[in-house]
Every structure is written in structure tokens, then in C-alpha cells.
Amino acid sequence: MTREPRPFRHQAFIDGAFVAADNGATFAVRDPATGAVLAEVPDLGAAETRRAIEAAERALPGWRGKLAKERAQILRRLHDLLLADQERLAQIITAEQGKPIAEARGEIAYAAAYFDWFAEEGRRVYGDVIPQQAREKRILVFKQAIGVTAAITPWNFPSAMIARKAGAALAAGCTMVVKPAELTPLSAIAMAEIAQRAGVPDGVLNVVTTNDPASVGAELTSNPTVRKISFTGSTEVGKILLRQAAENVQKCSMELGGNAPFIVFADADLDLAVKGALATKYRNSGQTCVCANRFLVQKDVAEAFGAKLAEAASRLKVGRGVEPGVVIGPLIEEAAVEKVERLVADARARGAKVLTGGGRHALGGNFYAPTVLFDTRPDMQIFAEEIFGPVAAITTFEDEAEALRLANSTHYGLAAYFYSRDIARVFRVAEQLEFGMVGVNESLMSSEAAPFGGVKQSGMGREGSKYGIESYLEIKYVCLGNM
Ligand code: ADP
């Protein structure tokens, strides 16, 4: 009897080989919609991580030594293969992460776009010839690949967050060890397999799966061969990694948490604002770092906005991501549901009103009902913490100055959104928001061509765009003398 081949691999990937843990240990990857075990994946530790770093070091001279054009051809092939396999890869994302299949397909297209973009950017890494300051000297600037790099990625975009880092790193001539989130390693393994098919040489891209992120993270930050770490995840873990990386003065890119304000001024197009609110709040069930976290709505329009949003939110179809028409999948795990429950309970206890939802969904498990809360205030936990769930919390304000004060009253500074039709206000507010990314009458702004990143405790560095490749390059000043 022939058995159906599994639609995905479930081994770690080091030096071009699919491998198990030295001690054979594995951990289970589950479907957050059902709790079913999808696969057992190798639980690697520091020793295997060291081997992955050594493989990346061995692969470096060959990869860095290629012409940018040659690397670009391979990355372009990787882009093409990801798109050719889009449906299967989307199914893997939905299975291990839970997001609706349409969003998963979108994530694969978005991931592929980074390889395409950086294939181009890699060919345009220009140095400088600086006008001479002394007759017998010449000043040259080279830009060179940093070397071996590491990436630690989160579960909310299991493919795209790897592509955003690996696309830039590989285009620049760096090699990489990726440690995916333990909740979603299957997409990372699939990415490695496709990279290999695209012609990425052995050791250039390695995937270390583990259920013990602290020990693998410690190796990635303490091993002197690793010159740079790029992390996307919580501010809390980002701070741990920054402390660890300090020991080796390892370069760091950090994409950390957010607490995005979504400001609706009385002069806004209210229907457009509701449409934008739905898109940013409920995408991925509210589990993105750029999801609107605090809705700040001017008093005169607050009730109308709340009513429209609640009405629209109550019609969002909740269910397994593979089911037709579903737009709200499960939260990633029980702990995430408990956190949302805690935030909503605190807000209600302090006087917030529930316009729709307000608790777990009838489907049970990790499903939480799309929720809109009204009259939330800055002293509530929900105002200060990242919700990471399908809960919109509406706070009212009187005037522009108060809106800005409330919006900026956070340690985070990733994304902010506001809706207004007054062009002077658009400039004023965009300039004064202390965030790395600002959407004006727009709530979906991620693009491989735009710089993604935050200020304050939301991180450092930018990914994507012409700036993204810079963080994988070193500047070398070469002085020619006695000419
Ligand atoms: P989230 O709250 O979104 O789960 P985390 O910051 O906990 O975000 O996780 C993001 C990534 O960081 C995951 O790959 C996770 O395994 C990893 N991680 C968690 N703790 C550590 C740690 N101490 N050292 C290194 N990586 C870690």
C-alpha cells in the first residue's frame, strides 16, 4: 500500500540536510483550531545550534563571493517557487497558526515579495567615492556583508517574518541561522526546503527548531561567529536578547511590541474609518504587532463610530481558517485567550461597556468572539498592554491635543493610524505621532518597498525597503594615501 506523502517536512535543516536532534528529542506542533497534533519536530539545543552556526560560517565565503547578480537569480527563483507552491504553503500556515486561508495565501505572496525585492536591492548596494580632502589621498567606502547572522522569528507570520530577514541577509551576501517560533516551525522548514530547491547553497540558510528558545537564543547571541541578530517578537524577549548581545557587541535589529493608536477625528470619513478599523483590528484575529490597540475617537462621533464598528464586527465569521468565509480564526493558544479575558474583565470592572462580543466564542477552544468595548480609559490594563486578540477598545477624546497626548502616552512606538480630511491636521498629527509608521486614512500599510520598524521600546532598525538591506551591511572606509 502506498501512503500519501506528508504535505510538509518536519525536521530541522542544517548545512543542507534535514536532521533530527542529537538526542532524538521532539516536540509537538498543534493546530490551534482543534488542538490536534500536526507533527513532532526536532527539539534542538545549543550543540546543534553551534553546528548550524559553523555551517553558516563555512558557507559564507562562497556565498559572499558570488556576484550580487548571481545571488539575485537564486532569490528570484525562491520567489517563483514560493508562489508556485502558494496553496500548500498557505495550508501549512493555517494548520499551525490558525489564520484564515485567504490571509495565509496573502502571507505567502507577501513573503515571496521580499525575496523579489531584495534580489533587486542586492544589485544596488553602492559604495562611495568621497571628494578628496588632501591632494595625495583618496577616500573610498565599501559596503560588505556583515557575515553570519541569526534570526529569531514569531508565530504570527511564520513565513513572512523569515522572508523579511532572510531576503535582506542573503541578498547582501550574509548567511543565516533561523530559529522559528516553537508554535509554528513547519512553515520555516518548508521555506528552507524551497530555498534549497531554488539553489541556495548548503549552510547559507539553516533552520534550528527548538522547544527551548532560551538555550538556542543564548548560543546565537553568545557565539562570536554570529555578527548580527535580527529579532521579531515581544519587547520583553527583545530586552533579554539585547542584554545578551551586548557581551559580544553583536549588531541587533529589533521589531518588538506595539500599542497602536487608531485616532478618528470628527472630520473623518466615518465609513472609511470603520472599514480601516475592521481591517487592522481583526486581521489575524488581532494578533499582529501593528494591529490597532487603542481606538481614540473624538467625542462628537464616538457613539456613531462605536455602533458601526460593533455592527460590522458582530457579522465577522468565526471558525477554522480552512472553512469558507471565515475571517476570524482561533487565537494561537489557551494562554492568549486567557490574556484577552483578563484585559476585558479589567476593563469591564472599571466601567467599560461591551457593544458586541465580550467573551469566548461559542465554538470554545481558542476561539474568542470579535469584541468592541466602549468608554475604555487610560487607567485600564487594556490601554497599556498589547491585546493580541480581536478586541477593539474605544476611548473618547475632546480635541487634537488630547488625542496626541493619549496616543503618545506609551513606551511603544511601532504603528499609528488616524483618520481626518483636514490636510493641515494630517501634516500636524503625522509629524507629532511618536511612531515608526503612520497610516493616514489607511490601515494596511505593510509593503516590501516600505520601511517597517518602530521607535521607543518598539525596537531599532528597519526591515524591507531600500533601508532593510543596510542592516546586513558593514561600511568599510578605505583610504589610499601617498598617491
Ligand atoms: P510572543 O509573545 O509573540 O510569543 P515572544 O517574544 O515570546 O513573542 O516570541 C518570539 C520569538 O522569541 C519566538 O521565536 C520565541 O521562541 C523566541 N523566544 C522566546 N523567549 C526567548 C529567549 N529567552 N531567548 C531567545 N528567544 C526567545
Q: For 194-226, what is each residue's pLDDT tens digit?
A: 999 999 999 999 999 999 999 999 999 999 999
- 255 an active-site residue? yes
- 289 an active-site residue? yes
Q: How close is the Cα of 233 to the center of ligand 1, in Å?
A: 6
- Categorize the per-residue pLDDT at 359 as very low, low, confident or very high, splitting at 50, 70 and 90: very high
pLDDT of residue 49: 98
Residue nearest to atom 13 of ligand 1 (CA): 181
Atom number in ligand 1 closest to CA 244: 24
Residue nearest to atom 14 of ligand 1 (CA): 181
Q: Who's near 342: CB < 8 A, 6+ residues apart?
A: 381
Q: How close is the Cα of 103 to the center of ligand 1, in Å?
A: 23
Active-site residue among 48, 121, 219, 255? 255
Q: How close is the Cα of 234 to the center of ligand 1, in Å?
A: 7
Q: Who's near 176: CB < 8 A, 6+ residues apart?
A: 56, 148, 149, 150, 151, 165, 166, 169, 170, 204, 205, 206
pLDDT of residue 8: 85
pLDDT of residue 253: 98
Structure confidence by residue, pLDDT tens digits, 105-137: 999 999 999 999 999 999 999 999 999 999 999
Handedness of CA 414, 178, 150, 113 (dihedral sign): negative
Q: Who's near 104: CB < 8 A, 6+ residues apart?
A: 89, 90, 91, 93, 94, 97, 321
pLDDT of residue 7: 72
Whole-number percent of the chain with pLDDT over 70: 99
Residue nearest to atom 17 of ligand 1 (CA): 213
Atom number in ligand 1 closest to CA 217: 25
> Within 6 Å (CB) of ligand 1, which residues are found?
152-154, 179, 181-182, 213-214, 217, 233-234, 237, 240-241
Active-site residue among 252, 289, 386, 448? 289
Q: How close is the Cα of 217 to the center of ligand 1, in Å?
A: 9
Cell, residue 30: 498543534
Task: Average the pLDDT over 295-315 and give the result.
Answer: 98
* Position 6 pLDDT exceeds 70: no
pTM of the predicted model, to two decimals? 0.97
Q: How close is the Cα of 230 to the center of ligand 1, in Å?
A: 12
Task: Average the pLDDT over 175-191 and give the result.
Answer: 98
Integer CA distances (angstroms), 383 to 358, 387, 408, in order: 16, 9, 12
Question: Residue 270: how many CB atoms within 10 A of its CB?
Answer: 17
Q: How close is the Cα of 404 to the center of ligand 1, in Å?
A: 31
Query: Which of 27, 29, 152 gets mutated to test ligand 1 (max ligand atoms within 8 A of its CB)?
Result: 152
* Position 379 pLDDT exceeds 60: yes
Q: Which residues pair with 353 in a beta bridge?
A: 374
Residue nearest to atom 3 of ligand 1 (CA): 233
* Position 142 pLDDT exceeds 90: yes
Mean pLDDT (the chain) is 97
pLDDT of residue 76: 98
* Position 4 pLDDT exceeds 80: no
Structure confidence by residue, pLDDT tens digits, 438-476: 999 999 999 999 999 999 999 999 999 999 999 999 999
pLDDT of residue 5: 47
Residue nearest to atom 25 of ligand 1 (CA): 217
Handedness of CA 335, 341, 342, 343 (dihedral sign): positive
Residue with the larger pLDDT of the pair 128 and 1: 128
pLDDT of residue 1: 38
Residue nearest to atom 16 of ligand 1 (CA): 181
Cell, residue 177: 541561522
